[in-house]
Amino acid sequence: MHIVCPHCTTSFAIKLATLGAAGRTVRCSRCKEVWLARPEDAVEIAPAMPVMAEAGQGGGNAEADAAAEWEALAREEEAQNTEDTPVVDSPSISADWPEGEGAKGGEADWPSIAQADAEAHEDAVSTHRSRLASLFRLPPLPPIPGMPRVSLPVACVAMGALALALIIWRADVVRLLPQTATFYNMVGLDVNLRGLAFKDIKITSETVDGKLVLVIEGMIVGQTKKAVELPRLRFSVRDEQGAEIYAWNAVLEQPVLRPGESAYFKSRLASPPPEGRNIDVRFFNKRDLAGGRA
């Protein structure tokens, strides 16, 4: 009798007694298929034997090998004392891969896997950086009660307006804070606390009774919108090194200068020092009193 492999249809000669009444698990020596061979599934294949013999000399050896394998399977099952335990080989991994276009599609997945790994690495790096930033981030300053929040443009405009006010009203600032006069002098801004200025000063010479006489004249103008008291004037002669060698004072006839008015002054110096090279005109101040130059 013969049994036929249900997978590759190869037939093998076998003794029915080895199958038993309930059948026995067998394995094909060609395709390694395992199935349950029962006595009722055995068939008689009489004509196949001559054909197999004609096919080659190894036909008899194949049947002998098959019979020996069935016997080995039977002994193995009895030794293990198990019932109907199939013996299977590890399937080939490549057998499950698609062929043709399917295989090309599988190869195309490798760049996607690499890209996914790169994105995962970037996400991990960004997470690490955000954690470091959170550790070194300074906490926001608490808001001051009653103080409104000011945007950056508004703050810039306010600072510009403050700087402009300090320049325009610098005289008032110096009156309130005299120590700021040094700052204005450093930046090249004159501070006129009196609100008075000299204009059109001229120095000429004339001869009176055979003596040389210097004539100093000019105008005093107001720079404020209120009446200002006119102080005494102080004239000084200086040499080439700028040292004062002679000085005198003069009192103006007009005691107060009202807004929009100007005061004219004129003073003479007879027989000026020959080493004199320059004449200064200014208002009399407290330092002159301290120096005894009244």
114-131 pLDDT per residue, tens: 555 566 667 776 776 777
Highest mean pLDDT range out of 63-67, 71-75, 281-285?
Answer: 281-285
pTM score, whole prediction: 0.41
H/E/C letters for each residue in the chain?
CEEECCCCCCEEECCHHHCCCCCEEEECCCCCCEEEECHHHCECCCCHHHHHHHHCCCHHHHHHHHHHHHHHHHHHHHHHCCCCCCCCCCCCCHHHCCCCHHHHHHHCHHHHHHHHHHHHHHHHHHHHHHHHHHHHCCCCCCCCCCCCCCCHHHHHHHHHHHHHHHHHCHHHHHHHCCCHHHHHHHCCCCCCCCCEEEEEEEEEEEEECCEEEEEEEEEEEECCCCCEECCCEEEEEECCCCCEEEEEEECCCCCEECCCCEEEEEEEEECCCCCCCEEEEEECCHHHHHCCCC
User: pLDDT at position 154, please?
Assistant: 84
Whether 84 shows a pLDDT value over 60: the answer reads no
Q: Please name every residue paired with 196 in a beta bridge, in sequence order, or none if there are none.
A: 222
Phi, psi of 63 (to 5 degrees): -70, -40
Q: What percent of the chain has pLDDT over 90?
A: 15
The pLDDT confidence band at residue 80, using thresholds 50, 70 and 90, is low
Q: Which of 17-21, 62-66, 240-244 has the lowest mean pLDDT?
A: 62-66
| More confident of the two residues 57 and 34 | 34
What end-to-end distance do the CA atoms of the chain give, in Å? 154
Domains and their CATH numbers in the chain: 2-80 (no CATH), 154-186 (no CATH), 196-290 (2.60.40.10)
Whether 62 shows a pLDDT value over 50: the answer reads yes
192-243 pLDDT per residue, tens: 777 888 999 999 999 888 889 999 999 999 888 888 889 899 999 999 998 9
User: pLDDT at position 210, please?
Assistant: 87
| More confident of the two residues 74 and 110 | 74
| More confident of the two residues 137 and 185 | 185
